[in-house]
Amino acid sequence: MKSRVHASAASAAAILVALLAAALPGSASAGTLNGERPIVIAHRGASGYLPEHTMEAYKLAVQMGADFIEPDLFLTADGVLVARHDRSLNTTTNVQAVAATNPAIAAKVMGTAYNVDQLTYAEVKSLTARSRTSNGYQTVDTYFDPAYDYKVAGFSEVLDYVYGIYQSTGDVVGIYPEVKTIGGNPAYNLAIAQALLAALDDAKYGDFFDGHLKNVYLQSFDQSIIQYLNANTNLPAIFLTGCTNTPAQAQAIAQYADGIGTSAGGLSQACVDNAHDAGLTVHAYTLTNNPSQYQTVYDLDVDGIFGNHPDVNKAVRDQIYPVPEPASLVLFGLALAGLGIARRKLV
């Protein structure tokens, strides 16, 4: 009889936990892979407000509450990782104007392009970064200072910045670096991946980037790079690819990747479900400042969205998946405590 009473207490506590969990705002029954709220990823930093891949864009993204910031990575001619999306520097820097008075840089032109892998780190740092001003990039001038000399960010600067935040505040800001590639140059592409892993493993950061804080994702469009990363680190490797339209496609990718990054325009519920069933994370790219688009994509139960306007992204995410209120968390904790007491009585 006594054991039945204790069992009933355990059952009651378990039911209370379940009811409170369901009542907790945002305890959503999130349909994400891990059941947690999806992440807000700042695409190239707050690139809708400031020149992409600059420290200013990354810092603004963090101020706006992004969970992760994304640096695309190339290697300079002297082997330094820098954050650029394009191999050519023409569109996102003033390199052509600088080359007009700098013979050393002018001599490195390939056709009409000044490529990041042909310039030294110092030469890249001598340039001023600028915005594309199209396709959602710097669509708002609120934060932009035309007189300011924005610089291309080095990857070490990005790592130092997020690690510094952790040291000073205890807050964890994630990084989501992409290994960019040059067609026909697999050795160069592999060198980027190797340099990336070495940078994350730098002793000065301790174990901050080793994955235990869930603050690092690695990504690439190149399957061979994803396979290399998967084999050489425990950090999650995300393959940038099309939708997983069949369970078989998802299962095949799951053999060498931890997730997929796919275009929001081609996303479907079946794609997300297939990926999740195969154990794959799903991150969608790239949205701008239209709240209804974020709503539509979050409703598909994706695990995160890349957006150029982190404040808009976060506002929609938080509306769909609110942060639990402190009072609710206290009640939830009491329920868990009650369950623990009931279980101890059964022993």
Residue-level pLDDT at 139: 87
Catalytically annotated residue among 43, 53, 283, 309: 43
Residue-level pLDDT at 325: 64
Q: For the chain, give every domain's residue range.
A: 1-24+324-347, 30-323
Please check the confidence at residue 111 and state whether its pLDDT lies above 60: yes
Annotated catalytic residue 283? no
User: Please, what is the average pLDDT of the chain?
Assistant: 89
pLDDT in tens, 206-234: 999 999 999 999 999 999 999 999 999 99
Please check the confidence at residue 331 and state whether its pLDDT lies above 50: no
pLDDT in tens, 265-314: 999 999 999 999 999 999 999 999 999 999 999 999 999 999 999 999 99
Share of the chain above pLDDT 70, in %: 85
Residue-level pLDDT at 332: 43
Please check the confidence at residue 201 and state whether its pLDDT lies above 50: yes
The CATH number given to 30-323 is: 3.20.20.190
For the entire predicted model, the pTM comes to 0.86
pLDDT tier at 326 (50, 70, 90 boundaries)? low
Lowest mean pLDDT among 36-45, 94-103, 174-183, 322-331: 322-331
DSSP β-ladder status, 81-83 and 72-75: antiparallel
**Cα separation, 206 vs 163, whole angstroms:** 10
pLDDT tier at 26 (50, 70, 90 boundaries)? very low
Share of the chain above pLDDT 90, in %: 82
Catalytically annotated residue among 6, 53, 85, 276: 85
Annotated catalytic residue 53? no
